[in-house]
């Protein structure tokens, strides 16, 4: 515990006090933490390389193609068209409701990282059109993505936890919807109303303002289909895996096109066709212009990789698991204990998926001989797995860098939002436990 706290304090001092860039600060902290924990130096190097590789291996293409798609949607005016329709339906004064609603729908089918890069341009566009501060809109967008990611199958983390606990996926999904609703209302709609004065300075060029110069804008239905195509492809893959046998040709095809990386690539290509070529523009110059936005995420990618390295070192030292093992002796309700173990793992290693799966393995024996529902235990662990997101979580750095917040303000917004989701989720689980 002392080593974990010391490493976090050291990292915060480097960034906040000495003004280190987050990329070298994270790597330096990872190295010193591993050495202080007694890791073999060569094993430490391997751990850092694995952390960077695993993190960017799952993020690089999604973020890269997502950035291209977002830029194409912005450059062609599609994002503006979608945001105008959302504002017309919900009203300008309820712009956060528009983003929370959209985030909930997209979050049901899309992984968090992919949903984030798809919806971020909408937050920027609505902020420009309404003049509202960016941070509340960003939180309204991110909260439902986080809620669906941790509570609802078929998201990988939620599904893995349910499988370890031998919980019924359908029942977990149904109960998870009841837990998700208050979490989204409080974290995604109530919290943003208190964040209006927090400043943001997004990286220059990440989503530049588009001047239409009187050009005809593409039809709304085409804009909407271009934006939600990744959701449709990923959802199709998930449904096929739940309904079709292994080896079925349609399942294989949908799994291929519904992979997050492939879905984003296909969406970029079709956006070029329907939003550029069929609108009378040349594909080459349009793609080249959108690709110019990739430079804005280079620093973000390095920070995410370094965050993955820090997370992997903490995981390989066994700090989190050692702490969690000690918690099983506490005289607490199994549901509260499962949530607490997941919370400690989340604080220790950063990854919500790792925290959830580790906590499920530790908490699974606690269910034996009790009347506790494995579905509710899965939801309690899911709630704990998002608690207290901080500097060893790649989601923390994505939010900070994308919207240009200070370290302090990221704790006041993103970390607070994730903690509210975790606490409200646990309360919802305990209420359901009394009712069923």
pLDDT tens digits along 122-136: 899 899 888 999 999
pLDDT in tens, 285-295: 888 887 876 77
* Rounded average pLDDT over 161-181: 86
Report whether pLDDT(212) > 70: no
Mean of the pLDDT values across residues 10-31? 87
pLDDT at residue 182 in the model: 96
Mean per-residue pLDDT, 28-42: 94
Contact present, 323 and 343 (Cβ < 8 Å): no
Looking at per-residue pLDDT, the higher value among 1 and 432 belongs to: 432
Instruction: Give pLDDT, residue 34.
Output: 94
Q: Give percent of the chain above pLDDT 70.
A: 94
- Look at residue 417 and tell me whether its pLDDT is greater than 90: yes
How high is the pLDDT of residue 210? 55
pLDDT band, residue 254 (cuts 50/70/90) = very high
The pLDDT of residue 109 is above 80: no
B/e letters for 284-309, b = 16+ CB within 10 Å, e = fewer, are: eebbeebeebeebbeebbbbbbbbbb
> How many Cβ atoms from other residues are within 10 Å of residue 386's Cβ?
30
CB contact at 8 A, 135 and 403: yes
What is the torsion angle, in degrees rounded to the nearest 10, for the CA atoms of residue 418, residue 330, residue 33 and residue 383?
-20
Closest CA to 118 of 208, 231, 203, 233: 231
Q: Which residues are CB-neighbours of 165 under 8 A, at least 6 positions away?
A: 360, 363, 364, 367, 374, 377, 378, 381
| Predicted local distance difference test score (pLDDT) of residue 296 | 66
Which has more pLDDT, 290 or 29?
A: 29
Give me the pLDDT at residue 340, please: 92
Quote the CA–CA distance of 436 and 148 in Å, as a whole number. 22
Side-chain half-sphere CA neighbours of 139 within 13 A: 33
Mean of per-residue pLDDT scores for the chain? 86
7-16, 21-30, 371-380, range with the lowest pLDDT:
7-16
pLDDT reported for residue 209:
60
pLDDT at 208: 59
| Rounded CA separation 301/170 (Å) | 36
**Does residue 379 contact residue 172 with C-beta atoms inside 8 Å?**
yes
Which residues neighbour 274 within 8 Å (Cβ) at sequence distance 6 or greater?
A: 218, 222, 225, 226
Could you give the angle at which helices 352-363 and 334-349 cross, rounded to 10 degrees?
Answer: 140
Mean pLDDT across 271-298: 84
**Residue 113, φ and ψ in degrees, nearest 5:** -60, -40
Alpha carbon distance 199, 403 (integer Å): 10
Q: Which band of pLDDT confidence, cut at 50, 70 and 90, is reported for residue 144?
A: very high
Mean pLDDT of 193-204: 90
Report the pLDDT averaged over residues 28-45: 94
pLDDT beyond 90 at 432: yes
The DSSP letter of residue 19 is -
The phi and psi torsions of 58 (rounded to 5 degrees) equal: -95, -10
The predicted pLDDT at position 68 comes to 86
Mean pLDDT of 266-276: 92
- What is the pLDDT, as a whole number, of residue 102? 87
Give the 3-state secondary structure of 41-87: HHHHHHHHHHHHHHHHHHHHHHHHHHHHHHHHHHHCCHHHHHHHHHH
Q: Where are the domains of the chain?
A: 55-154+201-297
Between residues 155 and 20, the one the model is more confident about: 20
Name which residue leads in pLDDT, 341 or 49: 49
Query: Hey, what are 415's tokens?
Result: 């970390």
**Predicted structure pTM score:** 0.78
Is residue 268 over pLDDT 60? yes
Task: Choose from 50-54, 166-170, 320-324 the range with maximum mean pLDDT.
Answer: 50-54
């Amino acid at each position: 515990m002392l080593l974990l706290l010391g490493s976090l304090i050291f990292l915060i001092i480097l960034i906040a006090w000495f003004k280190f860039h987050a990329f070298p600060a994270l790597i330096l902290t990872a190295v010193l933490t591993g050495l202080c924990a007694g890791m073999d130096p060569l094993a430490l190097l391997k751990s850092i390389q694995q952390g960077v590789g695993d993190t960017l291996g799952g993020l690089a293409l999604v973020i890269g193609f997502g950035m291209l798609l977002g830029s194409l949607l912005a450059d062609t005016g599609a994002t503006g068209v979608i945001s105008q329709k959302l504002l017309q339906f919900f009203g300008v004064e309820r712009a956060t409701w528009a983003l929370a609603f959209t985030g909930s729908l997209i979050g049901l089918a899309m992984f968090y990282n992919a949903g984030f890069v798809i919806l971020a341009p909408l937050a920027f566009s609505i902020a420009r059109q309404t003049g509202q501060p960016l941070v509340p809109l960003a939180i309204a967008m991110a909260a439902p993505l986080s809620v669906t990611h941790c509570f609802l199958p078929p998201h990988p983390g939620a599904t893995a936890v349910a499988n370890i606990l031998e919980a019924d996926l359908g029942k977990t999904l149904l109960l998870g919807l009841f837990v998700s609703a208050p979490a989204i209302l409080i974290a995604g709609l109530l919290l943003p109303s208190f964040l209006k004065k927090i400043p943001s300075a997004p990286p220059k060029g990440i989503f530049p303002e588009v001047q239409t110069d009187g050009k005809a804008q593409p039809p709304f239905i085409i804009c909407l289909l271009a934006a939600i195509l990744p959701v449709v492809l990923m959802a199709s893959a998930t449904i096929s895996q739940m309904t079709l046998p292994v080896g079925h040709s349609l399942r294989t095809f949908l799994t291929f096109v519904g992979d997050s990386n492939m879905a984003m690539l296909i969406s970029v290509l079709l956006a070029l066709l329907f939003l550029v070529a069929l609108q009378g523009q040349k594909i080459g110059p349009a793609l080249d212009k959108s690709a110019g936005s990739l430079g804005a995420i280079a620093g973000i990618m390095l920070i995410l990789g370094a965050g993955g390295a820090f997370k992997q070192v903490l995981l390989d030292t066994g700090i989190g698991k050692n702490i969690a093992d000690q918690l099983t002796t506490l005289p607490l309700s199994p549901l509260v204990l499962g949530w607490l173990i997941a919370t400690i793992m989340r604080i220790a290693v950063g990854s919500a998926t790792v925290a959830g799966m580790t906590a499920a393995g530790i908490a699974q024996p606690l269910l034996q001989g009790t009347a506790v529902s494995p579905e509710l235990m899965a939801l309690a662990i899911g709630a704990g797995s998002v608690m207290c997101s901080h500097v060893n979580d790649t989601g923390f750095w994505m939010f900070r860098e994308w919207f240009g917040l200070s370290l302090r303000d990221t704790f006041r917004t993103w970390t607070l939002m994730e903690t509210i989701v975790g606490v409200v989720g646990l309360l919802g689980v305990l209420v359901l436990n009394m009712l069923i």
